[in-house]
Amino acid sequence: MDSSQFFGITTFIYLGAVFCYVTFSLFRVRTVGALATVITAIGILFNLAGLGLRWIESHKQGVGHIPLSNMYESLVFFALSIAVVYLVIEFIYKTRLLGSFAMPFAFLAMAYAALSTEFSKDIKPLLPALQSNWLTAHVITCFIGYAAFAISCGLSIFYLVVSFKYSEKSKLPNNDGFLSSLPSEKIAEVSYKMMIFGFLWLSAGIITGAVWANSAWGTYWSWDPKETWSLITWFVYAFALHAKYTRNWDGSRMAWMSILGFISVIFTYYGVNFLLSGLHSYGG
């Protein structure tokens, strides 16, 4: 088997995990919930194995490098980060109800990597500019941040759906399978936690990128579109955090900010590579 087959299988495993999380949320069968967690863990193992295999494949081709060098590889790593970060919060908060809104992002990232024809999936040798230890640090920090923002966005959608339902019925639903037994404040809190966690890692990602740029080009900041968009994303989240601390923005405003932030993340990650040109164009 080669790595792309592993990634294909991982896509289906993540889809299975999403299915189990949603089923669990609807019918509250404990075994289905436990199954969802186990499937996610298996998905993570396959995802990791695929990345490991791709690393070995690159060495066999004589151009060995860590599989974090282009759009395809980063999408695979993005999916892995989302699944791992999600499992950690499931463990910390001891609830499986968040899975239905977090794991779809892992599935989508993986499915897009596996199915898209917009970018090359071949293992290519590293360009001279990419041959640096900062590559690993930069990509890992950025994608942990992106993963946290994706989950925060998913939970924000969850929050908005819940609060919309509540306001519609203007009372707490007592037997509304999908949405009950998890207070919306709790969802907002976890979403906010993911936001600040992501903010820390995004900052680290921008900083490692700056240090790398300085060692390759002699300038740590050049207002390249990718850099600028990462800063715009940083400002969006900084705005949200300050609005919450100082203006006491409520759950739904913060939820919209989280969604806006994630749109900015997607543009930084994806849009810049395909719509704008700049130093980062090899990302595609």
Partner 1 sequence: MTLQENQLWRFFTSVQLALIIIASLAITSIIGTIIPQGESINFYLERYGARSTVFFEILALNEMYGSFWFRTLLFLFCLNLIACSINRLPSIPKIINKDNWDINFASLTQAKENSQFISDQSSTHVINELKNALKLKVLDIKELKAGTRFLVFFEKHAWSRYGAYIVHLSILVIFFGGVVGSLFGFKAFVMVPEGESTSIAYSQEGSREALPLGFEVFCETFAIEYYKNGTPKEYKSDLSVLEQGQEIKKKRITVNNPLTHRGITFYQSSYQQIPGEYSLYLSLNQSVSTGSQSSINKTFSTKIKKLNQWGEVKAEFRIVAASKDGHGHGPYEIWFDDQDDNPITFVVNDNQTVEVKRESGTYSFAMKQRFATGLQVAKDPGVWLVYIGCTLMLLGLYVSFFMSHRKVWIAVDQTKEGTLVTIKGKTNKNKDGLMRYQNKIESTLIDLEMKPVRRA
Nearer to partner 1, 47 or 191 (CB): 191
- How far is C-alpha 84 from the geometric centre of its chain's CA atoms? 10
* Rounded alpha-carbon distances, angstroms, from residue 269 to 103, 264, 273: 19, 8, 7
CB of 83 to partner 1, least distance (A): 22
Query: Which among 231, 228, 226, 233 has a CA at the least distance from the CA of 265?
Result: 233
Q: What is the nearest approach in angstroms of partner 1 to the Cβ of residue 24?
A: 23
Among the listed residues 4, 23, 132, 281, the single contact to partner 1 using CB under 8 A: 132
**What minimum distance in Å lies between the beta carbon of 114 and partner 1?**
25
Query: Would you say the C-alpha torsion 262, 263, 266, 267 has a positive or negative sign?
Result: negative
Q: Per rule CB under 8 A, is residue 144 in the interface with partner 1?
A: no
Residues from 184 through 243 that contact partner 1 (CB under 8 A): 189, 196-197, 199-200, 203-204, 207, 210-211, 214-221, 223, 225, 228-229, 231-232, 235-236, 238-239, 242-243
Nearer to partner 1, 211 or 266 (CB): 211
280 in Cβ contact with 226 (< 8 Å): yes
Report which residue type is found at 178.
F
| Residue 182 touches partner 1, criterion: CB under 8 A | no
How far apart are the C-alpha atoms of 191 and 150, rounded to whole Å? 10
Q: Which region holds residue 127: left if phi is over 0, alpha if psi is between -120 and 50, else beta?
A: beta
Non-local (6+) Cβ contacts of 271 within 8 A are 229
Q: Which parts of this chain interact with partner 1 (CB under 8 A)?
A: 62-63, 93, 124-125, 127-129, 131-132, 134, 189, 196-197, 199-200, 203-204, 207, 210-211, 214-221, 223, 225, 228-229, 231-232, 235-236, 238-239, 242-243, 245-247, 272, 276-277
